[in-house]
Amino acid sequence: MVLADTQSERAILGAVLDDPSCFESIELADEDFQDADCRLAWSKVRALIDAGKRPDLTLLGSEMADRPKFLAELNPITAANASYYAERIRECSKRRGIVAILRKAKELIDGPVDAVLEAIEAGLVELQGQDRRDMRMLRDLLDPAMAVIEERYKLQGRTPGIETGFHRLDAPLGGMRKGNLIIIGGRPSMGKTALALSMALNMATHEVRVGFFSLEMSAEQLVIRALANVGRINSQSLASGHMGPADFAKILDAGAVLQRASVIIDDTPNIALTLLKNRARRMKRLGVEIVFVDYLTLIRHGDARTPRWERVGDVSKNLKQLARELDIPIVVLSQVARDAEDRMPTLADLRMSGEVEEDSDVVLLMHRDRAAAEGEQDYTTQIDIAKNRHGATQMLELVFLPTYVSFEEKFEGGGGGPQHRPAASGRRATGLKTVNSPTNEVSDADDWPSAAPEGQR
């Protein structure tokens, strides 16, 4: 295993002494040099260039007078092969970085396994970030930008992101867009999980592949809710077992739909952030196009002695980075402050950390009049688009259906208060899979087509 290439390190120094103009394009850091003399010489060359001077052996000699032997062996050479030498140095530097990560993991190996995994992942992310090239010429970005515009033109005003199934929500948001972190916030019993599941099922019935992390509710409970939602079956009947023949017929029909639904459920409780990210990456490899997380503060991360708001902020930042890395939308449910119990919550009420607001691209806040719900059986729920990077913020209304533990779009008609659309018929869906232990593999994953479906995006 080659961890250093002193010959290339000296050659790159010689190339810069021959033609200083190649220095900036090389993009090597001081720590990329393993040889101490070469590392010092590179830093001196950098300082000379920053001072507006042209580096040569004479100037470098005045800066390194105590290294006469090294200077005597250093000679200017052609800069034609500078990129080759630089790549050799970078490869060796990465190998040393990997070795350092493994050594740190070995030191932690007797501690908690999650701490070891986090140390490895953090090290690899940092190592990969060092090689990122963020500076690009405008002309080089024109082609991909034009491709995006052409794609939007072909949509002719249709939603560019994945549709939630709620038109009043999709219109201002443009659907759930790739790389976005979407937060759904509300007090307990507002129906955050029901709204997320309704969205997920709407998407799955249009052949969108969905990943769902259920940290609070078991996979079995979530599937029962899905049966109630799709089959329009009383959820209490499913829970109690008091059902008639008609209910069983509905269950069989709903089961047939869900059998073909492309939804992966992971119900690992108190899941560590590292494990969640690894599972999400695996879901992406299996074709998942959007991920739901229920919910934010149940994700385990960091040292328990660290303030919780700091850990929650770090989790939200990681989830935003994950959305960009996987190039899919990630929808995360979050509690809001208790002060918002009897009013519409605001961005300031997002639980535990202001960083959640900063990291998110879209924030949806939920509120319902509990008194009206209990007395008048009016389950109209206000949805405030409190943050929207892609358009205006606005308020809209959806109807919560407690019988089916689901949401539907509100529409006016017929009098007698808010109404909802009847159950959809003939829905298409493409197998509901669950993952509920770290060792389980997703069943039938290889049966999924590798090509992207033609469903709604």
Q: Which residue has the higher pLDDT, 350 or 32?
A: 32
Q: Within this chain, do residues 75 and 168 fall inside the same structural domain, yes or no?
A: no
Q: Is residue 110 part of a domain?
A: no
Q: Within this chain, do residues 311 and 389 fall inside the same structural domain, yes or no?
A: yes
Q: Is residue 150 part of a domain?
A: no
Q: Is the pLDDT of residue 351 over 70?
A: no
CA distances from 394 to 79, 199, 386 (A): 59, 19, 7
Question: What is the pLDDT, as a whole number, of residue 332?
Answer: 95
Q: Is residue 148 part of a domain?
A: no
Q: Is residue 336 part of a domain?
A: yes
Q: What is the CATH number of the domain that holds 436?
A: 3.40.50.300
Q: Is the pLDDT of residue 359 over 50?
A: yes
Tokens for 319? 């989830």
Q: Which residue has the higher pLDDT, 172 or 239?
A: 172
Determine what percent of the chain is predicted with pLDDT higher than 70.
Answer: 84
Give tens-digit pLDDT for 164-215: 989 889 888 989 999 999 999 988 888 899 999 999 999 998 889 999 999 9
Q: Is the pLDDT of residue 416 over 70?
A: no
Q: Which of 23-32, 231-240, 439-448 has the lowest mean pLDDT?
A: 439-448
Q: What angle do CA 405, 177, 158 make, to 5 degrees?
A: 90
Question: What is the pLDDT, as a whole number, of residue 249?
Answer: 81
Q: Within this chain, do residues 43 and 180 fall inside the same structural domain, yes or no?
A: no
CB-based contacts of 370: which residues, under 8 Å, 6+ apart? Answer: 342
Q: Say if residues 226 and 194 touch (Cβ distance below 8 Å).
A: no
Among 101, 132, 147, the domain boundary falls at 101
Q: Is the pTM of this model over 0.75?
A: no
Q: Is the pLDDT of residue 264 over 60?
A: yes
Q: Is residue 304 part of a domain?
A: yes
pLDDT grade for 158, boundaries at 50, 70 and 90 = low
Q: Is residue 67 part of a domain?
A: yes
Domain that holds residue 77: 6-101
Q: What is the CATH number of the domain that holds 48?
A: 1.10.860.10
Q: Say if residues 337 and 321 touch (Cβ distance below 8 Å).
A: no
Q: Within this chain, do residues 92 and 210 fall inside the same structural domain, yes or no?
A: no
Q: Which residue has the higher pLDDT, 399 or 422?
A: 399
Determine what percent of the chain is predicted with pLDDT higher than 90.
Answer: 21
DSSP letters for 197-227: HHHHHHHHTTT--EEEEESSS-HHHHHHHHH
Q: Within this chain, do residues 390 and 283 fall inside the same structural domain, yes or no?
A: yes
Tokens for 456? 């709604």
Give tens-digit pLDDT for 16-33: 988 888 887 777 888 899
Q: Is the pLDDT of residue 426 over 60?
A: no
Q: Is the pLDDT of residue 320 over 80?
A: yes
Q: Within this chain, do residues 425 and 324 fall inside the same structural domain, yes or no?
A: yes
Question: Which of 192, 172, 193 is closest to 345 using CA atoms?
Answer: 192
Q: Within this chain, do residues 66 and 180 fall inside the same structural domain, yes or no?
A: no
Question: What is the pLDDT, as a whole number, of residue 288?
Answer: 93
Q: Say if residues 162 and 327 touch (Cβ distance below 8 Å).
A: no
Interhelix angle 113-129/82-108, rounded to 10 degrees, is 170
Distance (Å, rounded) from C-alpha 163 to C-alpha 216? 25
- Give the DSSP H/E element, type plus range, for residue 142: helix 138-155
Question: What is the pLDDT, as a whole number, of residue 214?
Answer: 92
Q: Within this chain, do residues 58 and 180 fall inside the same structural domain, yes or no?
A: no
Q: Within this chain, do residues 74 and 180 fall inside the same structural domain, yes or no?
A: no
Phi, psi of 154 (to 5 degrees): -65, -30
User: How many domains, in total, are found in the chain?
Assistant: 2
DSSP letters for 34-55: -SHHHHHHHHHHHHHHHTT---
Q: Is the pLDDT of residue 110 over 80?
A: yes
Q: Within this chain, do residues 174 and 57 fall inside the same structural domain, yes or no?
A: no
Q: Which residue has the higher pLDDT, 158 or 286?
A: 286
Question: What is the pLDDT, as a whole number, of residue 437?
Answer: 41
Distance (Å, rounded) from C-alpha 181 to C-alpha 202? 19
Number of Cβ within 10 Å of residue 293's Cβ equals 27
Q: Which residue has the higher pLDDT, 449 or 431?
A: 431
Question: What is the pLDDT, as a whole number, of residue 27?
Answer: 76
Question: What is the pLDDT, as a whole number, of residue 449?
Answer: 36
Q: Say if residues 292 and 268 touch (Cβ distance below 8 Å).
A: no
* Number of residues assigned to the chain: 457
Question: What is the pLDDT, as a whole number, of residue 455?
Answer: 37
Question: Which of 129, 193, 166 is closest to 366 using CA atoms?
Answer: 193
DSSP secondary structure code for residue 189 in this structure: T
Among 46, 79, 101, the domain boundary falls at 101
pLDDT grade for 429, boundaries at 50, 70 and 90 = very low
Instruction: Give exposure, 140-176, as e/b (b: 16+ Cβ within 10 Å).
Output: eeeeeeeeeeeeeeeeeeebbbbbbbbebbbeebbbb
The amino acid sitting at 26 is I
Q: Within this chain, do residues 332 and 439 fall inside the same structural domain, yes or no?
A: yes
Question: What is the pLDDT, as a whole number, of residue 183?
Answer: 93
Identity of the highest mean pLDDT range in 51-55, 359-363, 431-435, 442-446: 359-363
Give tens-digit pLDDT for 113-142: 877 887 787 777 677 655 544 556 777 778
> Which residues make beta-bridge pairs with 333?
184
Question: What is the pLDDT, as a whole number, of residue 385?
Answer: 94
Provide mean pLDDT across the span 318-322: 91
Q: Is residue 401 part of a domain?
A: yes
Question: What is the pLDDT, as a whole number, of residue 364?
Answer: 94
Q: Is residue 280 part of a domain?
A: yes
Q: Within this chain, do residues 193 and 270 fall inside the same structural domain, yes or no?
A: yes
